[in-house]
Chains A and B, each alone.
Chain A
Amino acid sequence: MRRGVLALSLLLLTAVGVLAPPAHAGDAAKCTLRHITTVDMGISAGGRLTVPMTVGGQNLTMEVDSGGADSALNDAVVKTLGLRKDDISRAHVTMFGGTAITGMATGHDIMFGGLKAAKIDFLVIPDGRLQPGIDGLLAPDILRAYDDEFDFAAAKFSLFSPDHCPGAVVYWAKDFAQIDISLDRTGHIGIPVTLDGKEVKFDVDTGAEYTTLDWGMAQDLFGIDEHAPGVTRLTSDSGQVYYKYTFKGLTFGNAVSGAVTVSNPDILLVPYETSRMRGAIANVIGLGVLRKLHLYIAYQEHHLFVTSATAH
């Protein structure tokens, strides 16, 4: 989802572990990184990133969607749980693609790894809008209350306390890239990256499979047109047009702050007529690139930390 009302849900912490501080930490006691919980991370057959969550005693499969706004449940799940659905049609909440969200429901007895919450408000998504087997979305309303770690190679998703020394988070590797992030009001993560030598702003979206770049920017910045070598024209079943192009490299960070490059990323170039978005708002780094990395998002510190997926 791209737009929505913001309803920050507060989880009650009941299990807090402690990890060893990173090597850079000057004051070990002050800079201790507090681990909150870790859950198994799956990849659905459609390529979506999933984690388990229990609501009202029912085991659910939630998609981790950093490009969303508010966490949500499928209508079918809401019915199964017997939750009351409140009408929020006047809030004009809309999913990516234009589907209206008209309901909200309060889930009870939520468990996420070692975390427990008495209740959380969820938007209610009409059935069939999420991929099969996905019961709901875990979005920035919850994600940004913590630091989030995506360890793709170990298939683990972890939450940490944001209360730590600045920059003192990468416990798994000595070298890393540190990138300033901008957050919009819904918690979308904007970062500058270097794509084939040009700086371009992208959103980090774990709810997207593909990395996308605005077609106009591709033309203006890289001189790519429909007939350029390596450009493939694609048409979706609904007739929407995209172009695919393999760039040489997408670099996170720089020589000063540390840098990590993903080589030869396939990027979909999306015309305005398809995305209905102009400029950098259409630029998204999706899982095709992200799964090659180990990510730590420090929302409150406004930094993204990156290593290769398998760095030690």
Chain B
Amino acid sequence: MHRGVLALSFLLLAAAAAGAAAYDDFARGLNAVQRGESDTAIAAFSAAIAAGDLSPGLMPQAYRDRGIAYLQKGDCDPALADFAAGLKLKPADGDITRQHARAAACIGKTDIALADLTALIDAKFSSDIYQDRGMLRWRTGDFPGAASDFAAYIAARPWDAHGTLWLEMVRARAGQLQPDVAAHDARQYDDEKWPAPLLALYAGKSTPEQALAAAAVARDAARVPVQQCEADFYTGEWLLAKPDPEGGKALIAKAHRECPQDTIEYEDAGIELARLR
């Protein structure tokens, strides 16, 4: 069917309710945004919002998820507008506020993003927000602040190996890296699994060359490009902290050139390169 995916079969045919098309569009949008099909999601949510008879309880979510679809495309201005519209309908909603922060950060409104995230932390929305704010603080060059946030994040999520990698990375950039502490932090993770070679680098147990070489080995070949992207970025940051600005810049530039564009490292390599210019 054109508008809905539901087809009643056999003898049953329910009458379409008021708002049926709006809800069908909304549900289609939800599935599309989960699949990363942002253009389809934007069109579906736009139709649901414009219909005027979507359940009022779903309107904030329609704005939120259309905003997420815009963010997926990198269209941050309309995303921010949608999150603002969602917050108007559902003030202080944690999910929407978090997305509002992302959109604000995307268009350089860092103060707004930091205020959003700090409000969420104060409201104890989720320990994930420490990670969001830590990454944002890294982007603004507030390395001690980022280290403080990642320490809080890892205290709540000690099993997150990539979170621990960020903790050691921002500690290094803040001049706070202690290899013995990093070695202790890394002990709980599987030595055989990625990103163990990068944690070993920050723990002083391997060299940049060893970390970069380890990235080429993976049980699933499809993981190799992602591992190499991560190795370039996190080794580059380690070198910048040494300080080895030339060596670090070369690896960060490689990460920005070769990382898959949907990775955090691709985006952050671009930010680091801009900072190094």
Contacts and interface: CB of A to CB of B under 8 A. Distances in A.
Question: Does A pair with B?
Answer: yes
Interface of A: 40-45, 47, 61, 76, 80, 127-128, 132-133, 152-156, 173-177, 209, 235, 239, 241, 249, 251, 254-255, 258-264, 266, 288, 291-293, 307-312
Contacts of B1: 263
A116 B125 CA distance: 25
Given A153-B23, A241-B220, A310-B19, A45 B98 contact: yes
27 contacts: A45-B96, A61-B94, A80-B124, A128-B156, A128-B159, A132-B94, A132-B125, A132-B128, A132-B129, A156-B57, A175-B12, A235-B220, A239-B220, A239-B223, A249-B9, A251-B9, A254-B10, A255-B10, A261-B8, A263-B5, A264-B5, A288-B31, A308-B8, A309-B6, A309-B24, A310-B19, A312-B17
Contacts of B95: 44-45, 132-133
Contacts, number: 138
Contact of A45 (B6, B7, B99): B99
Nearest to A309: B23
Contacts of A174: 14
Instruction: Give the size category of B's interface with A.
Output: 35 or more
Interface of B: 1, 4-17, 19-20, 23-24, 27, 30-31, 34-35, 55, 57-58, 61, 64-65, 68, 94-96, 98-99, 124-129, 156-157, 159-160, 218-220, 222-223
Contacts of B223: 235, 239
B12 A258 contact: yes
Contacts of A249: 7, 9
Nearest to B223: A239
A170 to B, nearest CB: 10
A249 B6 CA distance: 9
Contacts of A45: 64-65, 68, 95-96, 98-99
B128 A173 contact: no
Contacts of A288: 31, 34
B127 A76 contact: yes
